[in-house]
Chains A and B, each alone.
Chain A
Amino acid sequence: MSLDNAPDAAFNEALIKEVLAQYPEKAAKRRGRHLNVKKTDDAGSSCGVKSNIKSVPGVMTIRGCAYAGSKGVVWGPVKDMLHISHGPVGCGHYSWSQRRNYFNGTVGIDSFVTMQITSDFQERDIVFGGDKNLEKMIDELNDLFPLNKGISIQSECPIGLIGDDIEAVAKKKNKDLGKPVVPVRCEGFRGVSQSLGHHIANDAIRDWVFEKTKPEWETGPYDVNLIADYNIGGDAWPSRRLLEEMGLRVVGMWSGDATLAEMERAPKAKLNLIHCYRSMNYICRHMEEKYNIPWVEYNFFGPSQIAKSLRKIASQFDETIQANAEKVIEKYQALVESVLAKYKPRLEGKKVMLYVGGLRPRHVANAYDDLGMTIVGTGYEFAHNDDYQRTTDYVKDGTLIYDDVSGYELEKFIEKIRPDLVGSGIKEKYATQKMGVPFRQMHSWDYSGPYHGYDGFAIFARDMDMAINSPIWSKFKAPWKAA
C-alpha cells in the first residue's frame, strides 16, 4: 500500500486476480464481474461491477432473503401493527428482535415490534394449505391484541410454493375487522437478496395501505416524510430533531418508530426525504407519479454530509427554512469541532474497509473522511447499478469494490490489505477480530448508536476510536513467541 493511505489500484487489481484464481473456472468468471477497482472515468458509472445478480452456490454469500427485506426491514418496525411470519417457525425466530429499530410504546398492548408472531407451519399445513388457519389466526390475534391498528402477512418460502391465496384471506379479513390486513409476497426464494423483499414490501404499501385508506389531514406548507430511516439504535430521532429545528413538520417517519397512521397520511406531505434509497425509492417514485410529491435523497452521517443535506433539503423550501438550516448548522458547529478535536487525532490516516447492505457502504464514507480516515474497500450485499453509480461520488480512485462478496473473498481482502478497521455484520465480525483487525458491526451499530445527525456523529466517532484504539490488540501475540 502507498504511504499516504490512498487506495492502491495496482495492488488491488493484483489482489482480485489472486483471489479469483482459487475459484473453479465457471465460478471465477461469475465472481469476476462483481470485483473491481474504482477508476476516475467510472464517475457516474457503476464502479465497474455487476450487481443484483444471483449469488453463486456454495461460496458463502453473506446475503439474506426477500422475507428479511420485508419483515426484517420495511414492515417489522411499523409498531402498532401485528406482523405475522407466515410459514414455519424459523424465519420469525431468527429475526425476532434482531434489528434494533427502536420505538416508543407498550409491547403486546399497543406496540408489537419485539414480538415473534408466527403460524408455525406443520406438515399438514404444507399438504392442505394454510389459508383457513391464517384466517382463524388473524381473528385470534385481533382478539388478544385489540389495540392493534392492522396486520401484515409476511410470506415465508412455502407459501408461494403450495399455492396459498393470502390475498383472498387479507381482503376478507380487512372487511371483517375494518382494519388494514396486508399480504406481502416476500417468500425467501424470490429475487436474489433482501432487495426484492424491499420492493415487494413497498408495493404492498402502495396497494394495501394507500389504495385502501383516505386519511383526513390538513396539510401544512412544511410537511415532510422522513422515509427509509429504520431508527437503528434510535437513528431517526436525532434526524427528526434536525428537521424540526429547521422548521419542517415531519408528518410521517418510515418505518422506524412508525405507526400505521404515519404511513397512511404520507401522500399528503409536500416532500419526501429519503435516507436509505435502496429500500424505499420505489414508494417515493410512486408518490411522485401519483401524488406529485417530489423526493430528495439526503445523508445524515457525519458533519460534512449533514450540512450539505440540510442545505439541499432547505433549498426545496422558502428563505425562512433556508435561513433556519444555516442556523442549525451553526448551532452544532461547536459540538462538531469538539468531537473532531477529541477524536480526529486518534483516527487520522486509518484505513477502513466496509461491507454492508444497500446504503451504508457509501453513505458513511464521508463520516469517516470527516475523521481523517480513508475508505480503501467497500461493497454491498444487495445494491443495484444505481447504488454503485452513486458510490463513485463517495470513494477515491483505486478503492477496491466488491459486490455480494463471499466469505472467502472478504477474508482474503482483509488479510492482504490489513485495514485498521472493518465495518460489516455479525457474521463477519469474529473472523475479522481473530485476525487482529478491529471491527464494528455496521448494520446494528454493534449495539450502540444512534449514528445519524450531529448527536449521532459524536457516538460514531467514539465507537470507531474505541474499536481501533482498544489496548487488547497489542495482546494477541504471547510475549514468549518471537515477533
Chain B
Amino acid sequence: MPQSADKVKDHISLFKEPEYLELFAAKKAQFECRPTDEAVAAQAEYTKTWEYREKNFSREIATINPAKACQPLGAVFAAAGFEGSLPYVHGSQGCVAYFRSHLARHYKEAVPIVADSMTEDAAVFGGLNNIVEGLANAYKLYSPKMIVVSTTCMAEVIGDDLSAFIATAKEKESVPLDFPVPFAHTPSFVGSHTTGYDNQMKGILNYFWDREAQLTAKPGTKINIIPGFDGYSVANNREIKRYMAEMGVEATLLGDVSDVFDTPSDGEYRMYDGGTTLDDARDAINAKATIALQEFCSQKTLEYVETKGQQTASFNYPMGIGATDAFLMKVSELTGKAIPASIEKERGRLVDAITDSQAWLHGKKFAVFGDPDFCLSMAAFLMEMGAEPTHVLCTNGGKEWEEKAKALLASSPFGANGQVWAGKDLWHLRSLLFTEPTDFIIGSSYGKYLEKDTGIPLIRLTFPIFDRHHHHRFASFGYQGALRVLVEILDRVFEAADAASDISYDLTR
C-alpha cells in the first residue's frame, strides 16, 4: 500500500513507489507499442550530434519550442498599465482565456481582460454586433475609466475595422461619446508580443493626443518613460520611479503595471489599482522627451512620439553597469538634473560586489535566450563581469536585432566566441548546447526542458517564470537590480561547484 494518511504522498513521490513502477513497466511492455529502449537510446544520442544539428538547422517551416508569444498578449499587457483600464479583445474568446492564464501564472495575480466572443456567425458577418454589445456590457459591469481594444487573428483575417466599429458602438450608446476607447490592430501572424505592445502603446497615445482631442504639444520639463513588455515590471518600474525621484526628475511611466500586477491581500479584491493616470497620458504629449527602456518594444510608438516634436531615446533593457550608466546619463542630459551621490554610491557598491565575485564568473560560458532587448542587456552585463555569452538566441529577433547583437559581441573580447541566433527556437538551442555546450543557460521557465536534457543549469531571469515564485517582485533594472541578478547567477555557479566537488568541497568560496 503506497499511500497513507500519516504521510500523504503526492505525484512527486507516489509514482516512485514499487506498485506504480510495476504498473508503468507492465503498461509499457504489454500495451504501449513504443519503440525499443535501444532505438530510443540511439535516437537520443543521435540528437546530440553535429549531424542532427545540421538537420535541425536546415528546417524551414517547422517551429519547435519558440520563445515568443503573439501580438495581443503584448497589447493587453500595455493596456493594463493605465488607471482603471480594461483590456478588451475583439475576436475569439479562447485567446483571452489564454492571455489571462499566461499572465496570471507568471504574476500570481488576477488578470481581468474581456473578450467579445466572436464565433462562426461573426466570422461570416463580421464582429460589429459583438463590439456594440461587448463594449456596453463591459462598461456597465466593470465600470472602467477606459477600455482598450486589440484584436485576435480571427478578427484580423476577416478584416474587421476597429475604428469604424468603435465609432458605431459609440453612436449606439454602448459607451458615452467621450469615453476613452483606444485601439490597435494586433494580428498574431505578424511579429510577436513585443510588436503588440508597441502597437497598443501607440494606439493609446494616439487616442489621447489625436483622436480624443487634437492636442498641440507645449513642451515642458517632464520626460516620459515607456517600460516595454517586461515580466519584472512590478519591481523594475518602481526602481525606475525611485531613480527619477532621487534625481528630482519629473517622469511619467507610460503603461505602469507595477501596482496593477501587485495588489495586496487584505480582504478586498481590487480589479483596478494603480496604473498611469489618464490625465498623465494626455499630458505626456507635453513632455520634453520620451525614453523607451526597450527599443524593440517601442519603435512605432517612438516614431509617433517624434511627430509631436519630442526628443526620443531608446535603450535595450537597462540591466547591468553600462546599461544603467547610459540610461541615467541620458536622463541627466535631457533634464539637466545631476545624478546624485546616493545613486553613484549604489553604483560603487555594485562594482564592489562584482569585484569580489568576478573570479567565479570569468570565462564562464552562458547561453542566453529571451526577448530582443533582454538578450542584448543580459549579454552585455555578462561581458562586464568577464563571462562569455556563447549563444545569444532570440526567437523574435529580426535582422536589425541580429546586427546589433553581433556588434555588441564584437565590442568586447568576452564576446569573441559568442554566436548570435536570430529567429531560432529552443529546439535549435538544444542542438547548440549539445554540440557547443555552455556552463549555464539564462532564460525563462521554458528553459527547464533544456536543463533536463543537457544537464546545463538554468538561471531564470526573464518572462515567463511559472515554476518559481515571486522573482518578478525584485528588480533587475539599475545598479540594485544588477546586484540581484549577480547574486542569482552566483548562487547557481556555487551550487554547481558544490555539486561537482568532492575533495574541494570548500567551506569558503
Contacts and interface: CB of A to CB of B under 8 A. Distances in A.
Interface of A: 22-24, 26-27, 54-68, 80, 87-91, 93-96, 98, 102, 104-110, 114-123, 125-126, 133-134, 136-137, 140-141, 143-144, 146-147, 149, 156-158, 160-162, 188-192, 194, 233-234, 237, 240-241, 244, 250-253, 257, 259-262, 331, 335, 338-339, 341-343, 406-408, 411, 425-427, 429-436, 448-450, 454-455, 458-459, 461-462, 476-478
29 contacts: A24-B140, A54-B117, A58-B134, A59-B137, A60-B138, A65-B93, A93-B69, A94-B69, A107-B452, A108-B47, A109-B40, A109-B43, A115-B427, A122-B190, A188-B152, A188-B154, A189-B119, A189-B120, A189-B122, A233-B11, A241-B23, A261-B33, A425-B101, A434-B267, A434-B268, A434-B269, A435-B267, A459-B8, A476-B267
A356 to B, nearest CB: 14
Contacts of B39: 110, 147
B94 A88 contact: no
Interface string B85-129: 000100111110111111011001111111111111011000000
B490 interface: no
Given A125-B189, A427-B97, A157 B152 contact: yes
Nearest to B111: A427
A27 B141 CA distance: 10
Contacts of A108: 47, 427, 430, 453
B6 interface: yes
Given A93-B66, A119-B61, A257-B27, 4 more contacts: A88-B153, A90-B72, A115-B64, A241-B19
Contact of A94 (B34, B102, B131): B102
A106 B452 CA distance: 11
Nearest to B43: A109
Interface stretch (B52-60, B234-242, B360-368, B406-414): B52-60
A74 B137 CA distance: 33
Given A94-B69, A427-B104, A436-B267, A126 B140 contact: no
A188 B94 contact: yes
A119 B63 contact: yes
Interface in B267-290: 267-271
Given A261-B31, A427-B111, A448-B11, A90 B188 contact: yes
Contacts of A64: 93-94, 97-98
A135 to B, nearest CB: 9
Given A56-B117, A458-B4, A106 B44 contact: yes
B470 to A, nearest CB: 13
Contacts of B43: 109-110, 146-147
A106 B99 CA distance: 29
Most B-side CB within 10 Å, residue of A23, A120, A476: A120
Contacts of A252: 31
Contacts of B69: 89-90, 93-94
B267 A58 contact: no
Contacts of A476: 265-267
Contact of A93 (B31, B70, B97, B114): B70
Interface of B: 1-6, 8-11, 14-15, 19-20, 23-24, 27-28, 31-35, 39-40, 43-44, 47, 52, 55-56, 59-66, 68-73, 88, 91-95, 97-102, 104-105, 108-120, 122-123, 130-131, 133-138, 140-142, 152-154, 157-158, 187-190, 192, 263-271, 427, 430, 446, 449, 452-453
B68 A89 contact: yes
A427 B11 CA distance: 24
Contacts of A66: 94
Among B40, B63, B122, residue most surrounded by chain A Cβ atoms (within 10 Å)? B63
Contacts of B111: 427
Contacts of B120: 189-191
Contact of A123 (B187, B268, B270): B187
Given A140-B62, A261-B31, A57 B269 contact: no
A96 B15 contact: no
B140 A23 contact: yes
A261 B117 contact: no
B101 A335 contact: no
Nearest to A90: B70
Contact of B157 (A26, A27, A162, A434): A162
Contact of A161 (B11, B24, B123): B123
A200 B158 CA distance: 23
A47 B118 CA distance: 28
A24 B192 contact: no
By Cβ-Cβ distance, the 7 closest A-B pairs, closest first, are A65-B94, A90-B70, A58-B134, A57-B134, A94-B98, A261-B33, A58-B137
A108 B88 CA distance: 37
Contacts of B108: 430
A407 B112 contact: yes
Contacts of B427: 108, 115, 144
A156 B123 CA distance: 14
Nearest to B265: A434
B97 A63 contact: yes
A244 B24 CA distance: 12
Nearest to A54: B119
Given A114-B449, A449-B11, A158 B157 contact: yes
Nearest to A98: B101
Given A94-B99, A114-B449, A126 B141 contact: no
A426 B93 contact: no
Contacts of A55: 93, 115, 117
A234 B142 contact: no
A427 B99 CA distance: 10
Contact of A144 (B31, B34, B62): B62
B119 A26 contact: no
B267 A477 contact: yes
A149 to B, nearest CB: 8
A157 B154 contact: yes
Most interface-central of B23, B117, B142 (chain A CB within 10 A) = B117
A267 to B, nearest CB: 15
A189 B68 contact: no
B110 A427 contact: yes
A448 B13 CA distance: 11
Given A156-B153, A335-B1, A189 B118 contact: yes
A478 B266 contact: yes
A240 B26 CA distance: 12
Nearest to A102: B11
Contact of A133 (B6, B61, B70, B114): B61
Contact of A429 (B34, B68, B104): B104
